[in-house]
Amino acid sequence: MNAKTAKILDGKALAQKIQTELTTQIQALQPQIGRPPGLAVLMVGDNPASAAYVRNKERACTKVGIASFGKNFPADATQAEVAQAIQDLNEDERVDGILVQLPLPNHLDSVALLHQIDPNKDADGLHPVNMGRLVRGESGLRSCTPAGVIRMLQEYQISLQGKQAVVVGRSILVGKPLALMLLEADATVTIAHSRSHNLAAITQTADILIAAVGRPNMITAQMVKPDAVVIDVGINRIIDYEGNSRLVGDVDFESVQEVAELLTPVPGGVGPMTVAMLLHNTVWSYSQKVNG
C-alpha cells in the first residue's frame, strides 16, 4: 500500500446536493411564476449513447420538478423540420431551456441549429451570444461541463487565484470556455492540446490540471506535478481483452492517484456535474421570469 493516494472529488454526491438545492428553489419560485420550469431536449435518430443521455437528463428533470418537453425525430429528419421545432420552442412560454442532443446525423448542420436557439433558453450555454458574455465576464448561461468543473473546485474550496492551471484540450464544448472561466477566477491559464510540443513539460507546471481531449489514459503520473489537482473530463469506452467494455477517462487513474493531491474519478466525477449544471441553467432562465 502506497503511503499516499489522492483524495477523490465526488461529482456524484455534489450533483445530488445541487439537485436538492434546485428542488427547493423551484418550490419557492413556482407559486410566483405559476408553472414549473421546462426543459426541451431534441434528439435526432436513435444513437444508443444519445438515447441513454437523454433518458438520464429527463429522469433528473423529474427528480427536481422540471417539466420535460422532449422531442425525438427520425434519423432522416430535415434541417427545416428541426429548425421549425426549435422556433416553436423559442416561442413556447412553458419552456425555459432548449438543448439539441449532439452528435446529430451528418446531413444536419448542427451549428446552424444551435444558433437558432434563443440565447436566453440556451440550456447548454453554447450559443455565440452566451460565449460572448463569458468572454466579457457578463452574467449569462454557461457551458455545462466547464461550469460543473468550476463548481466542483469551489465546493472543495480549491483556490484558483494565482494558480497555474493547464487545460489539455481546446474544444468549444469544454477547453475554450473552461480556460475563460479559470481566467475569470484569477488563475494563470495555459491551453495545451494534441499538437503541443513537450506536452509533459507543460502539464508538469500545473497546480490544477484538466484533461479534456478524449484519449483514454493519456495523462500519466509522469506528466503530473506532485500534489496537483487533476480533473478528468474525458469519457472513453474501451474494450478489454475479454471483450468487456468499460468507461475510462483521459487520465490514467491508477498511476496518477499516487501523485496527485485531488483527483476526479471516471465515471462519477465530472459527468454527473454536467447534468446538474444543465438543470441549474434551466432553473436560472426560469428564475429570470421573476427577476426580469
For residue 103, cis peptide bond before it (omega within 30 degrees of 0): yes
DSSP-derived 3-state class of residue 268? coil
Cβ neighbours of residue 141 closer than 8 Å, sequence gap 6 or more: 119, 120, 122, 123, 124, 125, 127, 130, 281, 284, 285
Annotated active-site residue in 10, 96, 122, 124: 124
For the question of residue 121 being annotated catalytic, the response is: no
For the question of residue 30 being annotated catalytic, the response is: no
* Selection from 56, 251, 81 nearest residue 168 by Cα: 251
Annotated active-site residue in 10, 19, 25, 57: 57
In degrees, to the nearest 5, what angle opens at C-alpha 42 toward C-alphas 40 and 43?
Answer: 145
- Which triple of cell numbers denotes residue 124? 447548454
Tell whether 214 is in a known binding site: no
For the question of residue 124 being annotated catalytic, the response is: yes
Tell whether 169 is in a known binding site: yes
Are residues 172 and 126 in contact, defined by beta-carbon separation less than 8 angstroms? yes
Tell whether 235 is in a known binding site: yes
Tell whether 170 is in a known binding site: yes
Annotated binding site: 169-171, 235
Task: Give the catalytic positions in this structure.
Answer: 57, 101, 124
Annotated binding site for NADP(+): 169-171, 235
